[in-house]
C-alpha cells in the first residue's frame, strides 16, 4: 500500500512501538546485535537473522544537467540552475513471528520504503511511502548484496553501482538514478560498531558511502523527465537497540564537502536536560579527508550542536533549529537548511513528525564548503521505542 507521508530511517523504530498496525514488530529481540568486523560485499546485503531493524538510506543534491551548462565542479554550480534534494530509503524489520512458522503467509519480515524530492524552485517538499510484508515477489530485502524492492520501487547494486527507480503518482514525482561510489565504504564508529547511547548494546553496525556520483532522470507532475547530476550519501545500518530510553530524539548530518571530504555528526538528545542544561545524551561522528583514506572518528565529548535559528511549522507547531553551529575535531561548521519547510508528517502510520532535508554546510568564515542532509527527530513529541 502507499501513503503520502514518509518515514525517517530511525523513526521506523518508533513506528514499531507506536503503530497498532505494526505492533507485532515491536517485540524485544531474542539476542542482542554482536560487535564484529564488517565484510564486503556480503554486508551490502540484508541481515534478517542478525538484527531486528535495518535500513538503506540515500540522500543527495541534484541539479538540472542542462541548467548546469557544463560548468566545472558541482559545488560551484549548485544553486545557479534548478536544484533539488532527494532521498530514498528502504527498511527491513523482523517481526515476532517465529522463524520456524511454516506458513508462507506469516509476516516474518516487513519491508518499508519512502522517497522524497525537495523542489527548491517551487519551494516544495514531495514525499510518499509504502509498506508490505516480505515475500510473494512484492517486497524483498536480499542477502549478499544490496537488492531491496517494494512493488515497483527498487534499489539494487550491480557491478558496484547502485540503481534506484521510484515513481509516485500521488506525490507527483519520479526518478531513475545511477549512484556510483567514488570512495571505499566508511566504517562508522569503531570499525563499524557505532555507539548510540551510554549502554554497550545501544549501538548499530553502520557504514556510509559518501561522495557518491549521481546521474539520471527526474520528472515532476507528469512532466518530461529532465537529466540530472549530483552527489549523494548512503547510510546502511542494522540494530536491535538504537534509541536509549532516556532519549527524546536526535540530530544528524551527512555532508559531502566540495573538496571531496565527508563529514558525519550526530547527537542523541535527552528527554530532560541536566541541571547544567546539557542536552546531549550521546554524540559521535567522523570526518574523512579528501582522497578517502584517513578517517577521524569523534568521541561523544568532541561533538557539540548549537542551534542558531528556529523555524516553527504551521502544520504541527513544532519548532526546529534549521540553522546550526556544529563543533567537531575537524573544525567548526554551520549548517543551513535550503528550505525551512522540510517537515514530514507520518502520524497516519508511524505516529512521528520529524524534519529531514537538504542543507548547506559552511565553514567558520561563512564560506559554503558542501551540502547534504540534516535530520531532526523528537521535536514534535518524544519518540517511544520498545
**Residue bearing the bigger pLDDT, 200 or 145:** 145
Q: What mean pLDDT comes out for the span 221-228?
A: 91
Residue 69 binned pLDDT confidence (cut-offs 50, 70, 90): low
What's the pLDDT score for residue 371? 96
What's the pLDDT score for residue 77? 38
C-alpha cell at 65: 544537467
CATH number of 2-376: 2.40.370.10
Assess whether pLDDT exceeds 80 at residue 339.
yes
- Give pLDDT tens digits for 260-289: 999 999 999 988 877 666 899 999 999 999
What's the pLDDT score for residue 119? 95
- In terms of Cα–Cα distance, which of 179, 174, 189, 238 is closest to 209? 179
- Give pLDDT tens digits for 103-150: 666 667 889 888 999 999 999 999 998 888 787 788 999 999 999 999
Residue located via cell numbers 514518509? 6
Give the C-alpha distances (Å, rounded to integers) separating 383 from 54, 117, 123, 157, 271.
Answer: 18, 25, 28, 33, 9
C-alpha cell at 277: 542544561
Assess whether pLDDT exceeds 50 at residue 6.
no
If one counts every other C-beta atom within 10 angstroms of the C-beta of residue 50, the result is 17
- pTM exceeds cut of 0.95: no
Angle value at C-alpha 256, between 52 and 265, nearest 5 degrees: 55
- Give pLDDT tens digits for 322-331: 999 999 999 9
C-alpha cell at 102: 511454516
The alpha carbon of 101 is separated from its chain's Cα centroid by a whole number of angstroms, namely 32
Assess whether pLDDT exceeds 90 at residue 362.
yes
- In terms of Cα–Cα distance, which of 303, 302, 286, 265 is closest to 186? 286
Assess whether pLDDT exceeds 90 at residue 43.
yes
SS (H, E, C) the chain: CEECCCCCCCHHHHHHHHCHHHHHHHCCCCCCCCCCCCCCCHHHCCCCCCCCEEEEEEEEEEEEHHHHCCCCCHHHHCCCCCEEEEEEEEEEEECCCCCCCCCCCCCCEEEEEEEEEEECCCCEEEEEEEEEECECCCEEECCCCCEEEECCEEEEEECCEEEEEEEECCCCEEEEEEEECCCCCEECCECCEEECCCCCCCEEEEEEEEEEEEEEEEEECCCCCEEEEEEEEEEEEEEEECCCCCEEEEEEEEEEECCCCEEEEEEEEECCCCCCCCCEEEEEEEEECCCCCCEEEECHHHCEEEEEEEEECCCCCCEEEEEEEEEECCEEEEEEECCCCCEEEECCCCCEEEEEEEEEEECCCCCEEEEEEEEECCCCCCCCCC
- Give pLDDT tens digits for 185-199: 999 999 999 999 999
Return all residues near 159 (Cβ < 8 A) that are at least 6 apart: none
Q: What mean pLDDT comes out for the span 330-357?
A: 84
Assess whether pLDDT exceeds 70 at residue 96.
no
Residue 162 binned pLDDT confidence (cut-offs 50, 70, 90): very high
Dihedral (Cα; 198, 17, 249, 281), 10-degree rounding: -10
Mean pLDDT of the chain: 84
Separation between Cα atoms, residue 172 and residue 183, nearest integer Å: 33
What's the pLDDT score for residue 291? 74
Amino acid at each position: 500500500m502507499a501513503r503520502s507521508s514518509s518515514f525517517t530511517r530511525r523513526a521506523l523504530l518508533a513506528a514499531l512501538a507506536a503503530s497498532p498496525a505494526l505492533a507485532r514488530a515491536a517485540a524485544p529481540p531474542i539476542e542482542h546485535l554482536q560487535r564484529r568486523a564488517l565484510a564486503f560485499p556480503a554486508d551490502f546485503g540484508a541481515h534478517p537473522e542478525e538484527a531486528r531493524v535495518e535500513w538503506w538510506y540515500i540522500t543527495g543534491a541534484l541539479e538540472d544537467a542542462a541548467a548546469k551548462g557544463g560548468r566545472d565542479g558541482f559545488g560551484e554550480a549548485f544553486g545557479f540552475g534548478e536544484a533539488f534534494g532527494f532521498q530514498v530509503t528502504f527498511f527491513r524489520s523482523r517481526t515476532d513471528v517465529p522463524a520456524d512458522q511454516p506458513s508462507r503467509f506469516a509476516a516474518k519480515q516487513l519491508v518499508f520504503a519512502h522517497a522524497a524530492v525537495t523542489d527548491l524552485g517551487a519551494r516544495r517538499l514531495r514525499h510518499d511511502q509504502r509498506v508490505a510484508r516480505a515475500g510473494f515477489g512484492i517486497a524483498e530485502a536480499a542477502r549478499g548484496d544490496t537488492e531491496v524492492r517494494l512493488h515497483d520501487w527498487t534499489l539494487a547494486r550491480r557491478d558496484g553501482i547502485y540503481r534506484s527507480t521510484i515513481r509516485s503518482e500521488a506525490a507527483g514525482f519520479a526518478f531513475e538514478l545511477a549512484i556510483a561510489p567514488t570512495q571505499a565504504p566508511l566504517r562508522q564508529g569503531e570499525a563499524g560498531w557505532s555507539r548510540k547511547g551510554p549502554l554497550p548494546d545501544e549501538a548499530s553496525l553502520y557504514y556510509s558511502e559518501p561522495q557518491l556520483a549521481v546521474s539520471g532522470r527526474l520528472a515532476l507532475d507528469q512532466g518530461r523527465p529532465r537529466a540530472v547530476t549530483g552527489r549523494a550519501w548512503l547510510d546502511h545500518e542494522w540494530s536491535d537497540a538504537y534509541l536509549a530510553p532516556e532519549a527524546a530524539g536526535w540530530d544528524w548530518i551527512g555532508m559531502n564537502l566540495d573538496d571531496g571530504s565527508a563529514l558525519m555528526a550526530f547527537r542523541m538528545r535527552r528527554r530532560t536536560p541536566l541541571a547544567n542544561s546539557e542536552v546531549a545524551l550521546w554524540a559521535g561522528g567522523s570526518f574523512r579527508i579528501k582522497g578517502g583514506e584517513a578517517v577521524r572518528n569523534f568521541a561523544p565529548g568532541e561533538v557539540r550542536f548549537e542551534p542558531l535559528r528556529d523555524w516553527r511549522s504551521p502544520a504541527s507547531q513544532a519548532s526546529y533549529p534549521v540553522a546550526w553551529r556544529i563543533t567537531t575535531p575537524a573544525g567548526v561548521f554551520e549548517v543551513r537548511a535550503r528550505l525551512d519547510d522540510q517537515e514530514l508528517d507520518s502520524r497516519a502510520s508511524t505516529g512521528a513528525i520529524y524534519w529531514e532535508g537538504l542543507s548547506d554546510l559552511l565553514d567558520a568564515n561563512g564560506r559554503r564548503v558542501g551540502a547534504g542532509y540534516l535530520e531532526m527527530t523528537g521535536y514534535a513529541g518524544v519518540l517511544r521505542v520498545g
